Amino acid sequence: MIEVKNLKKSFGANVVLKDINVTVKPREVVVVIGPSGSGKSTFLRCINLLESITDGHVYIEGIDITDKKSDINKVRTEVGMVFQQFNLFPHKKVIENIMLAPMKVRNVTAEQARKKGLELLRKVGLEDKAETYPDSLSGGQKQRVAIARALAMEPKIMLFDEPTSALDPEMVGEVLEVMKQLAKEGMTMVVVTHEMGFAKEVGDRVIFMDGGLIVEENTPNQLFDDPKESRTKAFLSKVL
Amino acid sequence: MDIQWNILAEYAPFFLKGTLLTIGLSLAGILIGTILGLFIGLGKMMKNKWLSFPFGLYITLFRGTPMLVQIMLIHFAVVPLFTGGTNGIAAAILTLSLNSAAYIAEIFRAGIQSIDKGQMEAARSLGMTHVQAMRYVILPQAFKRMIPPLGNEFIVLIKESSLASLVAAPELMYWGRAMQGQYFRVWEPYITAALIYLILTLSLSYVLSRLERRLATE
Ligand SMILES: Nc1ncnc2c1ncn2[C@@H]1O[C@H](COP(=O)(O)OP(=O)(O)O)[C@@H](O)[C@H]1O
Ligand SMILES: [Mg+2]
């Protein structure tokens, strides 16, 4: 489903991703952990080309997105992304936030888009907020809307970049709950997070990144309870 | 100083006509300037340095030279080049538009760049093209932030349109000068003109502050 081969990324002279190789199978939930600055966000952003790729290849369902000939906008419709800062469109109502891309990118009618949007809002428990503006929502509600907005494009893959890091602690649960539900439904997910409980509960695999490299990769139980690398041990002793 | 009310009464219809032309010139200037400014602003933001250079140069030239020089060049050199003759009103509209376009381009650029980068990324991650993201996500938010500085530019333009009197466009200041020339009086024509300009700019800033307040509560 996702195949990352020898991915390298530098910002000028700063080499941020050194040589990343990852395969994500359909319906798999991969959790990425690692210290701040280790390149987790950059890795995620390379998967939908929000960052240009310096070297290597990324295949999404067999399509090489680094190939200039592939239609990146089309690929992006298959890959949803949820950001730490939500990035809702503040000038649009909640329902309009969700309807916009399906209407403009997929040429869905307003009626259909609204129907689908309300369905998704129900799914994330925010149907009553459809006609409000994002500013009036709490952080947890904003993030749930952002998830609904990404789902409206019916992506096959969802990327989450620290979706709960900007939230007050009491709101983390409601967002994780939505993500767990999504995982249960079989969504293919790559999740950067510090929520180790989430990783254990729904993660099929955990990747530990440090210094632009994948240091260790294993099932959650193995990686958390029996880390092989000293760097992994050091990191886990700090966050667990 | 005794005011000669009779000559003021005689000139009242001219001041009225002049005021209307002043409003017309400024309106035309801000409208054309806004459209041109949008394109020049977007042009200057292009990543390719060679492509963005001419737009940057345009802005530098029009902001770095006096409008008086610009209107003279346009009136006596540029307009005749195309039409074979001079036309004060055309020169005035052209100068006000081209000049304000340079300032408005910078207003657009600042407005667009003030929008959080995450907005463009969210839009692109949903599969929108760059143009779609600009049109539906970035520009609507940027426009709201541009209203106050655009309003300021409009006020500046109303005042600067007085330069059109020097190329014989019969606006407000033109009739002030005509009155001075005919009666050798200075207080009556120029105080009148000043008051009318003041009424125009104060009304506009009143409307703008109302508009800003309404947008702020939305
Ligand atoms: N747009 C950028 N320009 C320059 N350097 C960047 C940019 N984005 C990230 N970096 C650098 O790349 C490194 C990895 O960043 P990031 O992927 O955000 O790490 P993480 O998400 O693991 O905290 C950091 O050193 C950061 O300074
Ligand atoms: Mg990050």
What residues flank ion ligand 2 with Cβ within 5 A? A 41
Q: Is the pLDDT of residue A240 over 80?
A: no
Q: Residues A74-83: what's their mean pLDDT? A: 94
Confidence band of A212 (pLDDT split at 50, 70, 90): very high
Confidence band of B2 (pLDDT split at 50, 70, 90): confident
Closest atom of ligand 1 to CA, residue A35: 22
Q: How far apart are the first and last CA of chain A?
A: 31
* Domains with residue ranges and CATH for chain B: 5-215 (1.10.3720.10)
Kindly state the DSSP code that residue B31 receives in the 8-state scheme: H
Q: What is the pLDDT of residues A4-45, one digit of tens each?
A: 999 999 999 999 999 999 999 999 999 999 999 999 999 999
Residue where the block lists tokens 């730490």: A84
**Strands, sheet with A55-60, edge to edge from the N-terminal-most edge strand:** A14-24, A2-11, A55-60, A63-64
What pTM did the predictor assign? Answer: 0.85
Of A48, A76, A85, Cβ closest to residue B118:
A85
Distance CA B197, CA B209 (A): 18
Distance CA A138, CA B96 (A): 47
Distance CA A56, CA A62 (A): 15
Q: Parse chain A into domains and list their residue ranges.
A: 1-78+156-239, 86-154
Do the chains contact at A73 and B127, CB–CB below 8 Å? yes
Residues of chain B neighbouring A100 (CB-CB closer than 8 A):
126, 136-137
Do the chains contact at A87 and B122, CB–CB below 8 Å? yes
Measured in Å, residue A200 CA sits from the centre of ligand 1 at: 26
Superfamily of domain A1-78+156-239: P-loop containing nucleotide triphosphate hydrolases (3.40.50.300)
Amino acid at B96: L
Distance CA A158, CA A148 (A): 11
Which of A7, A9, A14, A84 for mutating ligand 1's site (highest number of atoms within 8 Å of CB)? A14
Helix axes A94-105, A139-151, angle to 10 degrees: 20
What's the complex ipTM? Answer: 0.94
Q: Residues B170-179: what's their mean pLDDT? A: 96
Share of chain A above pLDDT 90, in %: 96
